């Protein structure tokens, strides 16, 4: 039986793997058939999830993650997180393509993971994508146009 502390530690490793787009760590912590959802995130398999993380890795550099595991029970784990990063590559939000700004931005969010055995089989992340767009100056540009 996996403990709550072990699940929380695995979720933190998953968040670290996501920020680093670390294929080996992603393969270790996520089930092959993982379902993932969040702003700008939709995946029905580990390979789709890895592809999403690799695209993000192309858009941001110098990422710093701080994750705080939360006390949960059952087959679930949760963590609050903050990522600070520099926008160095093109990124798309729906129909909006944002060219590199060089800006240092901070995103705050929460992740909830469901486990099957030792691996994450479902991941839901919640964060304010409009706050990121505002930090990147996109919302101000649209208001002025």
- Reported as a pLDDT band with limits 50, 70 and 90, residue 140 is low
Per-residue model confidence as pLDDT tens digits over 73-114: 889 999 999 999 999 999 877 777 889 999 999 999 999 999
Per-residue model confidence as pLDDT tens digits over 60-70: 999 999 999 98
Q: What angle do CA 82, 66, 111 make, to 5 degrees?
A: 60
Q: Tell me the C-alpha distance between 13 and 9, whole Å.
A: 6
Confidence check: pLDDT of 2 > 70: no
Compute the mean pLDDT over every residue in the chain, rounded to the nearest whole number: 89
102: tokens are: 């060089």
20: tokens are: 């680093």
Query: CA dihedral in degrees (72, 54, 107, 103; nearest 10)?
Result: 160
- Reported as a pLDDT band with limits 50, 70 and 90, residue 145 is low
Instruction: For residue 140, give the CATH number of its domain.
Output: 3.10.450.50
The model's pTM: 0.86
Q: Tell me the C-alpha distance between 12 and 52, whole Å.
A: 18
Inter-CA distances, 73 with 2, 30, 113, Å: 11, 19, 11
**Number of domains comprising the chain:** 1
Contact between 69 and 77 under an 8 Å Cβ cutoff? The reply is yes
pLDDT number for residue 4: 81
Determine the structural domain holding residue 109 and report its residue range: 4-144
């Amino acid at each position: 039986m996996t403990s709550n502390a072990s699940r929380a530690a695995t979720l933190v490793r998953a968040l670290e793997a996501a920020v680093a787009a670390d294929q080996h760590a992603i393969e270790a912590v996520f089930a092959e058939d993982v379902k993932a959802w969040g702003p700008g995130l939709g995946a029905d398999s580990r390979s789709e999830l890895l592809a999403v993380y690799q695209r993000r890795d192309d858009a941001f550099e110098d990422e710093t993650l701080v994750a705080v595991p939360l006390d949960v029970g059952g087959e679930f784990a949760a963590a609050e997180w903050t990522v600070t990063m520099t926008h160095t590559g093109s990124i798309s939000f729906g129909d909006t393509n944002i060219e590199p700004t060089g800006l240092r931005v901070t995103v705050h969010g929460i992740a909830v993971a469901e486990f099957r055995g030792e691996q994450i089989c479902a991941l839901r992340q919640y964060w304010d994508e409009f706050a990121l767009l505002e930090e990147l100056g996109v919302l101000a540009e649209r208001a002025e146009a």
